[in-house]
């Protein structure tokens, strides 16, 4: 990791200033890793700003950024005349439509399974041997031996710890490298702040969505779907929280919670779907990528979005929801069946190859 960290510094410090961009919905892992990179760059005399494509909706995430004073520029617009290059963290696709090819991608850092990225990054660190992108950044800081001021190291360590905690489901799915990163961060983390963030109450609307989800449960074989109807963008992250809660009390291989998100401020409307599983053999990332490139997954969790702006002026919202709900459930049903067909083909190929190997050895003898 030491050589990797040094290469990262050598690559990104060629540019000044830099834009650190968080596509999609900003979660604690993405925010923490972006914030830590900003601090690293600061001590290399490189300016950087963090941009999030969407605003924060969970109370906990708002408390997280507020308590640690993490500066975020919310919105899609970037003044490309100001920045020489950009960095993408915690997202499988490093293409940013608002940037295009106008400035280069200096670095792409992520912990999800490798996908074909449409933009070449000068520095790329993609590893699914860790539970979070925050782990990768923490290990880079450790190997760079950065002498950060105590207050900044405390802030960064607390942020990265929260990022790791969130993406490992409160350490339930931790790896050896995650543990190494947490051990390093533990000497600097502010446990009072971390406890305060963790105790932030949910919106009352978030709690209500669980009841709505259970009331609308539709079971298909060993999968279950939960439509929530229309949700205001400020409660968008409640879909993921609801999916987590449903999975805790469900006995299905995969659960999917979905809703139409309405953002009145920028007139944006889109379908948001969160998938969860307790089965490590279910590849949610592959399932989602077969539906749309606008999403992805890791072990046990995944999500995707579909833009519906063309339909935002539909006069009958109930009818629009019926169409979207029906289409979403049919897509998920087909995804469920395709997943098993593909799985059976994989088993068949494995058995076939073993049989061929046996016969090949016998002929050789």
- Numbers of helices and strands, H then E, in the chain: 11, 12
Distance CA 334, CA 84 (A): 44
Q: Which of 6-20, 240-254, 297-311 has the highest mean pLDDT?
A: 6-20
Asked if residue 97 has pLDDT above 70, the reply is: yes
Closest of 40, 46, 49 to residue 140, by C-alpha: 40
What is the per-residue pLDDT for 91?
A: 85
Q: Which range has highest mean pLDDT (38-52, 87-101, 241-255)? A: 38-52
Report how far residue 159's alpha carbon sits from residue 294's, in angstroms, rounded to the nearest whole number. 27
- pLDDT, tens digit, for every residue of 127-145? 888 889 999 999 999 999 8
Domains of the chain: 2-198 (3.90.1640.10), 204-338 (3.10.310.30)
Task: Write down the pLDDT at residue 174.
Answer: 83
237 or 330, which is more confident: 330
pLDDT band of residue 272 (cuts 50, 70, 90) is very high
Mean pLDDT value across the chain: 87
Interatomic CA distance for residues 144 and 153, integer angstroms: 13
Q: Residue for token digits 């990528």?
A: 289
Give the mean pLDDT of 71-95: 86
Model confidence band, residue 112 (pLDDT cutoffs 50, 70, 90) = confident
What confidence category does residue 55 fall into, taking pLDDT thresholds of 50, 70 and 90? confident
Instruction: Please give the order of strands across the beta sheet that includes 48-52.
Output: 73-74, 48-52, 18-22, 85-89, 105-110, 121-126
Gyration radius from the chain CA atoms: 22
Residue 96 predicted with pLDDT over 70: yes
Name the residue with higher pLDDT: 75 or 320.
320
Q: Which residues are paired to 88 by β-bridges?
A: 21, 108
pLDDT of residue 344: 47
- Give me the pLDDT at residue 346, please: 47
3-state secondary structure 110-144: ECCCCCCCCCCEEEEEECCCCCCHHHHHHHHHHHH
In the chain, the percentage of residues whose pLDDT exceeds 90 is 53
What's the distance, Cα to Cα, between the start and end of the chain in Å? 46
**Tens of pLDDT along 165-184?**
988 888 888 889 999 999 99
Task: Note the pLDDT tens digit of each residue in 213-239.
Answer: 999 999 999 999 999 999 988 888 889
The model carries a pTM of 0.74
pLDDT of residue 267 exceeding 80: no
Contact 42, 19 (CB under 8 A): no
Q: How far apart are CA 305 and CA 310, in angstroms?
A: 15
Cα–Cα nearest to 178, from 298, 285, 274: 298
Give the mean model confidence (pLDDT) for residues 239-244: 89
pLDDT at 365 over 70: no
Cβ-based neighbours of 247, under 8 Å, separated by 6 or more: 255, 276, 277, 278
Closest Cα partner for 164 from 142, 180, 152, 188? Answer: 180
Q: How far apart are alpha carbons 171 and 88 in whole angstroms?
A: 25
- Dump the DSSP string for 342-358: HHHHHHHHHHHHHHHHH
Residue 63 or residue 200, greater confidence: 63
Q: How many residues does the chain have?
A: 365
CA 188, 192, 195, 196 dihedral sign is negative
């Amino acid at each position: 990791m030491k050589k990797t960290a040094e290469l990262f510094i050598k690559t990104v410090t060629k540019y000044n200033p830099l834009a650190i961009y968080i596509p999609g919905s900003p979660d604690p892992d993405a925010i923490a890793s972006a914030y830590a990179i900003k601090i690293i760059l600061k001590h290399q005399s490189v300016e950087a700003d963090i941009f999030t494509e969407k605003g924060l909706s969970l109370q906990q995430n708002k408390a997280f950024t507020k308590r640690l004073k993490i500066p975020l520029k919310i919105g899609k617009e970037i003044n490309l005349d100001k920045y020489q290059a950009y960095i993408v963290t915690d997202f499988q696709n490093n293409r940013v439509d608002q940037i295009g090819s106008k400035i280069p991608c200096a670095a792409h850092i992520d912990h999800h399974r490798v996908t074909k990225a449409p933009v070449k990054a000068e520095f790329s660190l993609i590893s699914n041997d860790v539970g979070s992108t925050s782990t990768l950044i923490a290990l880079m800081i450790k190997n760079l031996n950065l002498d950060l001021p105590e207050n900044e190291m405390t802030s960064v360590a607390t942020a990265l710890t929260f990022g790791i905690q969130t993406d490992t489901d409160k350490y339930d799915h931790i790896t050896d490298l995650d543990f190494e990163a947490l051990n390093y961060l533990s000497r600097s983390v502010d446990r009072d702040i971390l406890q305060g963030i963790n105790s932030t109450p949910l919106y009352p609307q978030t709690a209500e969505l669980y009841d709505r989800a259970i009331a609308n449960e539709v079971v298909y074989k060993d999968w279950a779907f939960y439509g929530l109807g229309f949700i205001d963008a400020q409660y968008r992250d409640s879909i993921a929280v609801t999916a987590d809660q449903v999975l805790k009390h469900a006995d299905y291989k995969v659960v999917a919670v979905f809703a139409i998100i309405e953002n009145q401020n920028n007139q944006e409307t889109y379908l948001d779907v969160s998938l969860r599983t307790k089965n490590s053999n279910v590849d949610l990332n592959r399932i989602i990528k077969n539906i749309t490139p606008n999403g992805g997954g890791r072990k046990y969790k995944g999500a995707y979005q579909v833009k519906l702006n063309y339909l935002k002026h539909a006069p009958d919202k109930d009818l629009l929801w019926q169409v979207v709900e029906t289409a979403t459930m049919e897509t998920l049903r087909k995804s469920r069946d395709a997943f098993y067909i593909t799985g059976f083909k994989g088993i068949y190929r494995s058995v076939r190859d073993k049989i061929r190997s046996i016969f090949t050895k016998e002929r050789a003898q």
